[in-house]
Chain A
Amino acid sequence: NAGVTQTPKFQVLKTGQSMTLQCAQDMNHEYMSWYRQDPGMGLRLIHYSVGAGITDQGEVPNGYNVSRSTTEDFPLRLLSAAPSQTSVYFCASSYIGGAGMNTEAFFGQGTRLTVV
């Protein structure tokens, strides 16, 4: 298993450009989520999904869109990049364990995004 794969690893955007951060997992996990990590702010949840076709907002969703058409993929779209979106982005997945006990989260290696 490759686990959680994020692409690209690094990206520089100009203000106003759009792009999609890709996230794929090959573990058949129901849950997937996106976080951003900023100095002094820790990791904060952007969007999450509990299964194909179901997504919802996290703590900091503004400026980002998501969709989940398959169990494996959960792309994050920046429609019009802003300098405030300069950050390191992490995708994570986990699955529903027995008796309502969820499992450990697996994280991708991150995408370092700079918006100039």
Chain B
Amino acid sequence: KQEVTQIPAALSVPEGENLVLNCSFTDSAIYNLQWFRQDPGKGLTSLLLIQSSQREQTSGRLNASLDKSSGRSTLYIAASQPGDSATYLCAVEGWGGKLIFGQGTELSVKP
């Protein structure tokens, strides 16, 4: 059974710091891995999608990597801002669009 784990569960950093969020999964048979952002009381917004054949994706200050063989992904956020404060979720996708989520990392960026 696929299991997804995110470390750390919570993170508080001062504005301007670069930071790394970690995601690990137990079964490498995935279609892709997605990183989402969730603001309190809101839905999920897709940040980055890495196909199983890819190693990384970049969008602005965000960079996500994927190492399928070791079952790991990292989300790198450069020059963090208070507006980055949110919960970040990673999910691996199997057949049929099914997503298995980690528990999330709650990020707080202090001004």
Contacts and interface: CB of A to CB of B under 8 A. Distances in A.
Interface string A1-40: 0000000000000000000000000000011110100001
Interface string B36-58: 10000011111001010100000
Interface residues of B, number: 24
Given A42-B102, A109-B43, A100 B97 contact: no
Contact of B99 (A92, A100, A101, A110): A92
A68 B66 CA distance: 34
A101 B51 contact: yes
Nearest to B93: A102
Given A101-B31, A104-B49, A45 B99 contact: yes
Contact of A48 (B31, B53, B91, B98): B98
**Which DSSP category, helix, strand, loop or mixed, fits chain A's interface?**
strand
Nearest to A93: B97
B29 to A, nearest CB: 13
A101 B32 contact: yes
**Which DSSP category, helix, strand, loop or mixed, fits chain B's interface?**
strand
Contact of A31 (B53, B89, B96): B96
A106 B97 contact: no
Contacts of A80: none
Counting contact residues on chain A (CB < 8 A from B), the size range is: 20 to 34
A102 B32 contact: yes
Residue of B36, B91, B96, B102 contacting most chain A CB atoms (<10 Å): B96
A48 B97 contact: yes
B97 A94 contact: yes
